[in-house]
Structures are given as structure tokens and as C-alpha cells.
Amino acid sequence: MTGEPVLLSSDADGVRTLTLNRPHRRNAIDDELWSALRDALMAAGNDRAVRALVVTGAGGAFCSGADVSGGLRSTHPLYRMRTLSEVALLLHELPVPTIAKVTGVAVGAGWNLALGCDLVVATPEARFSQIFARRGLSLDLGGSWLLPRLVGLQQAKRLALLAETIDAEEARALNLVTWVVPEPEVDAFVDDLGARLVAGPPVALAQNKALLNEGPDRTLRDALANEARAQTVNFATADVPEAYTAFTEKRIARFTGDWAVPKAGHVRPKSGGSHA
């Protein structure tokens, strides 16, 4: 493993895949990998060629959590926690759809890394645990915020207080996994899912993601105001007239997210129906 990068990054047709690459530790995240993740997420958010992001792990595991094998260190834990917080926020606020491809274990911060993605695809062999209590620790990487929103308060407390290990089917029943896909089919499934997301209107998808992420913390009045502002942003892209043109020409729309405010005197074609 010496000399190999702890995080692999590859691009294919608008999809960037980040692979945690510490299989000898079941991809437990050490300080180097936390920093690499932070930098990679920041880079993905600033690269318009990236239209979707996949996070996965090498060697048959997703992530066994934060690497605590080093024992006590000279650096105060508060400074390391800041990097974790940056990773969680960058993933949550990334303007492109994100997919966690989970094989093997996803525990502790590793599970919360998966839950921080917009969609989670797991194989039947995947296992999940909020293992923190077994280590004398409390939730981190956004788990205290994510879990109650996904499963409700009582189930969140069950997972956090008992630190049980659950399988992929139970995780799906609790709305913590979006799809369970047999291992031989999972790569093709995620590839197809990524392609479908890449084909979508990037600005509108970013708006949808932000609206849904912020929704639970907003009143209906706030949500409606945010929707109106988001829709105004969408109408300033080339994707709205492209969708109309593609519909009339009976073809698949080619979305780019390009800025396309009409010039003075230019009137866009009307769709003749609802914009929603």
C-alpha cells in the first residue's frame, strides 16, 4: 500500500467517482484521507464538467469509520473534528447529485458519509452500524442531524444508543438505503443511475437538492418563497426552452445548465401549459 493514494478519483461521462482506498483498514478514514476527501469534494463542486458524484470504497468495504488505531495524538481532537465538519458540509451542499455505492461495512462516520449522499445503493451483504457508543463516543459527521430526519426520533435513538448492526434490507425498510442491488449488478446499476442524473438539467437538479435539504427547517411560507426564487433561476437557463423544443420535436432534451437570459426584444416561446 505504500505510495498508493488514499483516495482515488476517476471521471466518466460527467460522473466523478471517489473511492476510499485504504482496504487494509476497511477504508477507515485517517487524517490524510479526511483532508483528501475535503479537497476532492471542494474540487468537484467547482468543476462544471462534474454532473454527478459517486462515493464508494475499495476492497469490498465502504468505510469502517474514522481510523482510531493511532491512539492519542499531539493534535487536539477539536482541530480534526473541524475537517470532519468541512467534509460533511461540502457533501451536503455539493450542487450535483451524489450517490453512495455501499458494499461491505459502513459503520460510524463511514455510514454517515453514505447517509450524507443523496442516494444510497447497497448490496445485500452490506452491514451498517452507528457504532460510536461502543467506542465511548457520540455521533459525528452529521449523524445527529441526518438520522432523525431520515428515520424519525425514536428509531434514530435506537440506532445511536444501542449501536446495533443492521443489514441492507432493514436499512432500506428504515429509509436509510434507496436500493438494494445484487453485488454482480451493482456497478452497472450505479453507472446507469449516474448517467440518468447527468442527463438531467444541472441547475434545476441543484435547486431541487437545496430545496429538499432545507425544507424540514422551513415553514411552508419560506418554502414557497424559496421555490419561487429557484424557479426564477431555472428560467434564466437554456434548459427551459430546450425542454420545450425537445418536447415539440419528440426527442430527448440535451440539458447544459447554460445561462441564457433573453436579449432585449427577444421573446421566448410559450409552452401553453403549466411550467411545473
Region of 159 (left: φ > 0; alpha: ψ -120 to 50; beta: rest) is alpha
Q: Which fold has domain 7-198?
A: 2-enoyl-CoA Hydratase; Chain A, domain 1 (3.90.226)
Task: Please determine whether the domains at 7-198 and 200-276 fall in the same fold group of CATH.
Answer: no
Predicted pLDDT of residue 76: 80
Predicted pLDDT of residue 73: 60
Please tell me whether residue 94 adopts helix, strand or coil conformation.
coil
Domain map (residue ranges) of the chain: 7-198, 200-276
Predicted pLDDT of residue 271: 47
C-alpha cell at 142: 452529521
Q: Was domain 200-276 assigned CATH 1.10.12.10? A: yes
Beta strand pairing call for 165-167 and 127-129: antiparallel
Please report, in tens digits, the pLDDT of each residue of the chain (276 residues total).
457 999 999 999 999 999 999 999 999 999 999 999 999 999 999 999 999 999 999 999 999 999 977 655 667 888 889 999 999 999 999 999 999 999 999 999 999 999 999 999 999 999 999 999 999 999 999 999 999 999 999 999 999 999 999 999 999 999 999 999 999 999 999 999 999 999 999 999 999 999 999 998 899 999 999 999 999 999 999 999 999 999 999 999 999 999 988 666 555 555 444 444
- List, in sequence order, every residue forming a beta bridge with 264; answer none if it has no partner: none
- List, in sequence order, every residue forming a beta bridge with 105; answer none if it has no partner: 127
